[in-house]
Amino acid sequence: MPMKGRFPIRRTLEYLQKGEVVFKNSVKIMTVNYNTHGELSDGARSFVFFNVPQIQYKNPWVQIQMYKNMTPSPFLRFYLDNGEQILVDVEGKNHKEITQHVKKILGKKPEVLEEEARIAMVSSNPANFGPKKYCLRECLCEVEGQVPCPGLVPLPKEMTGKFRAQMKASQE
């Protein structure tokens, strides 16, 4: 069974999609400085191990870099597109606290996310029918519980136009 690594759940789509932090559009680079040993860097190490994959999945256009054993205490640094740098000290915090902190200062608000989802829905409405490239379904015959495609399973006689025309002709 191909389970790679210590916590292979980190590689599942479900886990990645559960990531909470979606950065604002102005955040371009995230840098994590932490130490490989020491109790103070525990939280930072867990953060890097468990939460950074989720963040990168949700923000594919943000560059994330790790630096190990460069400073005695761990911290995060964010670089915005207007040149501003935001320093976040994470000494002694655990990974949940760090995620909450980051979400509070640089995460998109839930209302904004809903708004964006709604706008995306307008352009890619799941209720539309069309080519597979743009829509989920091409024809109603693909939906469960509907009349199947007459190309695969012939329609019952009563539904064919031929039969109905014959009936009409015989009645007149």
Partner 1 sequence: MFQVARSPAALFRLLTPRGGVLVEAVRGRKSRNDPKAKSKVDRVKLPPPIDPEEMVVLKERYREYDLIVRALRAEFREEVMRRRYEEQVGSRAEERAKREAEEHRALMEWNDRENLRLRQLREVRVQKQVEEEAKRRAEEILLHEERRQCVLKEKEQEILQLQEDVKTFITPENLEQRIEEALDNPKNYNFAIDKEGRVVKRTVLP
CB nearer to partner 1: pick between 8 and 115: 115
87 lies in the site for partner 1, by CB under 8 A: yes
83 lies in the site for partner 1, by CB under 8 A: no
141 lies in the site for partner 1, by CB under 8 A: no
Sheet holding 85-89, edge to edge: 63-68, 27-34, 75-80, 85-89
One symbol per residue from 43 to 82: x for binding partner 1 (CB under 8 A), - otherwise; what is it?
------------------------------x---------
Nearest-angstrom CA–CA distance, 93 and 32 = 14
89 lies in the site for partner 1, by CB under 8 A: yes
H/E run at residue 163:
helix 161-171
DSSP conformation class of 25: T
For the stretch 89-97, contacts whose Cβ atoms lie closer than 8 Å and that sit 24 or more positions apart, written own/partner, are 90/34, 90/43, 90/44, 90/47, 91/40, 91/41, 92/40, 92/43, 93/43, 94/42, 94/43, 94/46, 95/43, 95/44, 95/46, 95/47, 95/50, 95/51, 97/43
> Shortest distance, CB of residue 114 to partner 1, whole angstroms?
16
29 lies in the site for partner 1, by CB under 8 A: no
DSSP conformation class of 156: P
> Shortest distance, CB of residue 91 to partner 1, whole angstroms?
6
91 lies in the site for partner 1, by CB under 8 A: yes
Residue from 16, 64, 88, 141 binding partner 1 (CB under 8 A): 88
Q: Where are the beta strands (DSSP E) in the chain?
A: 27-34, 63-68, 75-80, 85-89
37 lies in the site for partner 1, by CB under 8 A: no
Residue from 16, 29, 62, 86 binding partner 1 (CB under 8 A): 86
Residue from 151, 162, 170, 172 binding partner 1 (CB under 8 A): 151
> What residue ranges bind partner 1 (CB under 8 A)?
73, 86-89, 91-92, 101, 104-106, 151-154
